[in-house]
Structure 1
Amino acid sequence: MSTRSENLTQGVTRAPHRSLLKALGFVDEEMGRPIIGIANSFNEIIPGHVHLKNVVQAVKDGIRNAGGVPIEFNTIGICDGLAMNHIGMKYSLVTRNIIADSIEATAMATPFDAMVFIPNCDKVVPGMLIAAARLNIPSVFVSGGAMLAGVHKGKKIGLSDVFEAVGKHQTGEMDDAELNVIENNACPTCGSCSGMYTANTMNCLTEALGMGLPGNGTIPAVYSERLRLAKLAGMQAVAVLKAGLKPKDVMTREAFENAVAVDMALGGSSNTALHLPAIAHEAGVSLTLDDFDAIAAKTPQLSKLSPSGIYFIEDLYAAGGVSAVMKRLAENGRLHTDAQTVALKTQGEITAAAVVVDEDVIHPWDNPVHETGGIAVLKGNLAEDGSVVKAGAVDPEMQVHSGPAKVFNNEEDAVDAIMAGKIVKGDVVVIRYEGPKGGPGMREMLTPTSVITGMGLGKDVALITDGRFSGATRGASIGHVSPEAAQGGTIAVVQDGDIINIDIPKGKLEVALSDEEIAKRKAALPPFKSTITGYLKKYALHVSSAAQGAIEILED
């Protein structure tokens, strides 16, 4: 069987290539072995990535154990928490493209036989999955694992609690000393932040897609089991190469439906409504917001994890992990059990061996946390193409809400108003021109939502935006409003005092204006002009709407 790496190692004409490999330390005996590329996202910026040198070493050991030769390279990553609430967040989503492009370029220029991908945080996981689909060479994913939760006053806490503590401090409910204690204890270890935020949601869904081994989504970063999993992933990369299993064989329509079902059962981050369609697009699979809506309607939410619950990823791990959640789905006809995985077993074979250890964390099917999935799609005259809300994290009092709009053209102005006490019970905060094109980059709105919650307004104030929300967000926070303001969507013509009607159970998001009034206002709307420069300008020129996953659109 011919291999990609023969373009580096075999024949007289490859003597220069072999010479360069020998400059790296290769010996002749390695020239005929499979070369396994390792896409590593280690850096000293992100807590979820700072320990990945240890993970990659375990992967290399596994590859050598199985008779392969590892070659490591790095890609970029930014920390969404550090980028939050300033211009840096405009660069978060755009790195998904940069990560995918850089890996594609490296792996095409260096013909690896197979690959191991080592992501951990928000945009790195989907960026790497997009790259795997593009390259379509045998691949295995192993994440860096989740951070352990912190503890404050006997209660587990995570990063979202620090953001909410800022709101409590603002109202005088919390003093400087307690805020400092929470700040010092909320993020106690390396790893992706400890709740069911975007990073951990995507790591869990990588497992549900079949691209990661069982345990990928939930084994804590600091456990030795994480290193053992990494070693097994290295060995498995050689095994999937021998089996000829490629990413597009795994990431099928059925696999994406499995991932969305697991997402609904876990009450995962609303960012999955951007990432899964984008990954599916690269895999040649159509996945839309309507698919999310349909799967949510028949998949109950079985787990309520931080930020909306008291449990964390470490608790999901102890309860049986993603495999146990999938077992619940399989037992109730909500899983494609014949879907293939990089474990070289079907999902049915994996779930058959799984055990639900704690039913407080993974509820029984007949006693769910929420009767429908954790994410809801809302449509109406304010979001004709759709919007997304983490329904399982919305208080019952806010599932249906009507209130006057308080309109802001950027996140900073909204935060200033919230902190100044200008937002009152019943208001609907509207933040626009933060979409994929208008932001550009579709910033996450964790600061305003967390401050609203921390100030005690979480059950009384809604927030809607054409931007998006962190996986750490909870409350009536509706994002991805499409069409966005920069494309002339209705959100661009909403004015202070307009009544916004939200009905999550019925999937409705509307402004109480006639079609004629909306048309009149749109006709008077000046064209959107951006003054952005650099990479963001390039991004804005080619990005699709959020309803399409904010994918890159390139003309033929």
Structure 2
Amino acid sequence: MNAPARKLRSNFPRGSYLWAVRNAQWQAMGIPEEDCEKPKIAVVNSSSELAACYSHLDQVAKVVKEAIRAAGGVPFEIRTAAPSDFVTGAGARGAYMLAARDLVTNDIEAAVEGAQLDGMVCLTSCDKTVPGQLMAAARLNVPTILVPCGYQASGEYKGQHVDIEEVFIHSMHAQIGSTPVDEVIGMSRCAIRSPGVCSGLGTANTMHIVCEALGMALPGSAPVAALSDKMFTDARAAGARIVQMVWDDLKPRDILQPGAFANAVKAVLSIGGSLNAVKHLQAVATEAQNGVDVYGLFERLGPETPVLAGVRPIGEHLIEEFEAAGGCRALMKQLQPLLDNGVRTVTGGSVADNLTGYQPANAEVIRPIARPVAPRPAIVLLRGSLAPEGALIKPGIVERKVRRFSGPAICFDTSDAAVAALRDKQVPSGSVLVHRGAGACGGPAMGGGASRVVFAIDGAGLGDEVAMLTDGHLSGLVCKGIVVAEVAPEAALGGPLALVQDGDTITIDLDTRRVDLEVAPQVLEQRRAAWTKPSPQFDRGWLQIYRRNVGPLAQGAVLTRDTAE
């Protein structure tokens, strides 16, 4: 380790007010006085007993803190909100899920910036904590490493593989009447066999891979099985590395450069990852104030980035197979000719340095560029008269027979109403189901259960016969049918989606990358004049604060900066 070469921001003159009161607090906690001069590292822990995603993080925190002490630092464990889609999605129509992402960011700011700590090791787990931690790193710009804390073991039911995706899908099938309730109960008892995040390539595993592709996690650390020897080895390495990063003053904004975001976008595209990664990456770029247009990157890079791996739910490989093949590091090696190899990473070296001499373990699971698993992009950004600011669709890797869908709209303002109509067979074949009022402002926080509607369509046997359009977002596990999500501007802000009426023709074209409303301009002008903004949801508490301050998807739906001063 290099000798300390700079003053730490956490240190104050000996005997001064701030030194004295902190020393008094820490003496009472058993921290020696000489440790007041060492790098003080936040171990950001979202441990919670509410969900399996977080139930193991205290074990990881212990290992990280030991490594920090051994490397000459002083760890301070801090806690944040711990949102889990399948648990905290129960209240407020799911609005707490995305809103909690920004709460995580602010939890970290209050603790780390308030205490003037020198660096952070963030224990990443479920969907929203990962971007929340990345956003905090970009905002505070103190040396930071993210540690992927692993995926859960899935199970078997009646001799077949079962994980949380099957439970989600079939629970909605049960509401439609196409799956017996007892089957869903049986699956739920077997689907999760250990702590950790969803075992498919949903939002959590996608964002763990994003951390490494951005250069914010150590090479080879994503994805990883929760509580495995490898996970603990990586955690120890991160605890040791962060201390030297503090002395080197290697900050997130040194890493989160435009080239790093382009690399991360290519990584997501090459695995057909979660659509949610788009807005989360944009939120990180917004906090980093680097001017990167992530939506523009997905639009531009999508057609030229090959799909190199097919992991559930877009393919047949399990996440365990993807990890065994080398995970993100192998993916980056296969993508290397397309990457910005010069950007820095938390190792202190470049992407090229981290990949030198490395070879993927299985070129069938993670293929080379010359032999992709799919000829077309697995994530497509659409524009058109219904989505002038963009919309997202995940066609998957199976070649679609239908790449252009045109049909009459049938409109719903809640997911409950849409599911009820599907259950009652009131959604005709050939129609476009419009689910609106579920955007960042209207939901708020994109609560509204759009994913439930997708799986209900599938359960009704209409997956190839009914398209769907929503301003809400989808679970990272969703990869079914022709479903256009995150339509912007959203309906609650008066976007074109708000003007759609039953019977209007909507056309979705994957080849031209357009989504259009086939209604005469003068008719839309009349509807615009008659339109009134819906009454806002929630008038107190955190959701009110979020609703009043959230920005557009083009900025990542982050809380906006006050520009009045």
**Shorter-chain TM-score: which interval?**
over 0.9
Q: Is the 8 A contact 2:88 2:94 kept in 1?
A: yes
Distance 1:121 1:448, change over 3 A: same
Give the one of 532, 540, 557 matched to 1:550: 557
Say which SS state the counterpart of residue 407 (structure 2) adopts. strand
Residue 276 (structure 2) aligns with: 271
1:311 aligns with 2:317: yes
Distance 1:86 1:280, change over 3 A: same
Deviation at 1:370, TM superposition (A): 2.5
Structure 1, unmatched stretches of 5+, are none
Deviates more, 1:53-62 or 1:21-30: 21-30
Q: Is the 8 A contact 2:442 2:537 kept in 1?
A: no
Map 1:91-106 → 2, pairs under 5 A: 91-106=96-111
Distance of 1:466 and 1:394 partners within structure 2: 25
Distance 1:101 1:85, change over 3 A: closer
Residue 3 (structure 2) aligns with: none
Residue 118 (structure 1) aligns with: 123
Q: Is the 8 A contact 1:162 1:182 kept in 2?
A: yes
Distance of 2:299 and 2:159 partners within structure 1: 38
Deviation at 1:361, TM superposition (A): 2.1
Give 1:287's aligned amino acid: V
Give the one of 63, 82, 87 matched to 1:82: 87
What is the TM-score normalised by the length of structure 1?
Answer: 0.95
Deviates more, 1:415-424 or 1:497-506: 415-424
Distance 1:170 1:104, change over 3 A: closer
Residue 430 (structure 1) aligns with: 434
Q: Is the 8 A contact 1:277 1:286 kept in 2?
A: no
1:505 aligns with 2:505: no
Q: Is the 8 A contact 1:116 1:142 kept in 2?
A: yes
Q: Is the 8 A contact 2:123 2:146 kept in 1?
A: yes
Deviation at 1:294, TM superposition (A): 0.6
Structure 2, unmatched stretches of 5+, are 1-5
Give 1:399's aligned amino acid: R
Give 2:254's aligned amino acid: D
Map 1:439-450 → 2, pairs under 5 A: 439-443=443-447, 444-450=449-455
Give the one of 534, 538, 542 matched to 1:528: 534
Distance 1:366 1:145, change over 3 A: same
Residue 374 (structure 2) aligns with: 370
1:130 aligns with 2:126: no
Distance of 1:420 and 1:218 partners within structure 2: 41
For each residue in 1:36-84, what CA deviation from the matched residue of structure 2 results, as whole angstroms up to 9, or x when unmatched? 1111111111211110010001101110121111110100111112244
Distance of 1:172 and 1:37 partners within structure 2: 49
Deviation at 1:526, TM superposition (A): 1.8
Residue 204 (structure 1) aligns with: 209
For each residue in 1:323-352, what CA deviation from the matched residue of structure 2 results, as whole angstroms up to 9, or x when unmatched? 10111110xx21111111112221112223
Q: Is the 8 A contact 2:148 2:223 kept in 1?
A: no
Distance of 2:79 and 2:343 partners within structure 1: 31
For each residue in 1:341-384, what CA deviation from the matched residue of structure 2 results, as whole angstroms up to 9, or x when unmatched? 11222111222343322233212322322234322111111111
Aligned length: 553
Give 2:538's aligned amino acid: I
Give 2:49's aligned amino acid: E
Give 2:395's aligned amino acid: A
Residue 293 (structure 1) aligns with: 299
Map 1:303-452 → 2, pairs under 5 A: 303-330=309-336, 333-392=337-396, 396-443=400-447, 444-452=449-457
Q: Is the 8 A contact 2:172 2:452 kept in 1?
A: no
Give the one of 189, 209, 212 matched to 1:184: 189
Distance 1:357 1:531, change over 3 A: closer
Distance of 1:550 and 1:168 partners within structure 2: 31
Distance of 2:178 and 2:446 partners within structure 1: 32
Deviates more, 1:243-252 or 1:410-419: 410-419
Distance 1:438 1:314, change over 3 A: same
1:146 aligns with 2:151: yes
* % identity of equivalent residues: 34
Distance of 1:354 and 1:403 partners within structure 2: 50
Distance of 1:12 and 1:466 partners within structure 2: 54
Deviation at 1:206, TM superposition (A): 0.5
Deviates more, 1:153-162 or 1:315-324: 153-162
Distance 1:292 1:40, change over 3 A: same
Give 1:429's aligned amino acid: L
Distance 1:92 1:309, change over 3 A: same
Deviation at 1:393, TM superposition (A): 6.0
Give 1:94's aligned amino acid: A
Q: Is the 8 A contact 2:100 2:128 kept in 1?
A: yes
Give 1:385's aligned amino acid: E
Q: Is the 8 A contact 1:159 1:187 kept in 2?
A: yes
Q: Is the 8 A contact 1:85 1:411 kept in 2?
A: no
Distance of 1:286 and 1:152 partners within structure 2: 48
Map 1:470-485 → 2, pairs under 5 A: 470-475=475-480, 476-485=482-491
Say which SS state the counterpart of residue 396 (structure 1) adopts. coil
Distance 1:92 1:499, change over 3 A: same
Q: Is the 8 A contact 2:311 2:318 kept in 1?
A: yes
Say which SS state the counterpart of residue 232 (structure 2) adopts. helix
Deviation at 1:178, TM superposition (A): 3.1
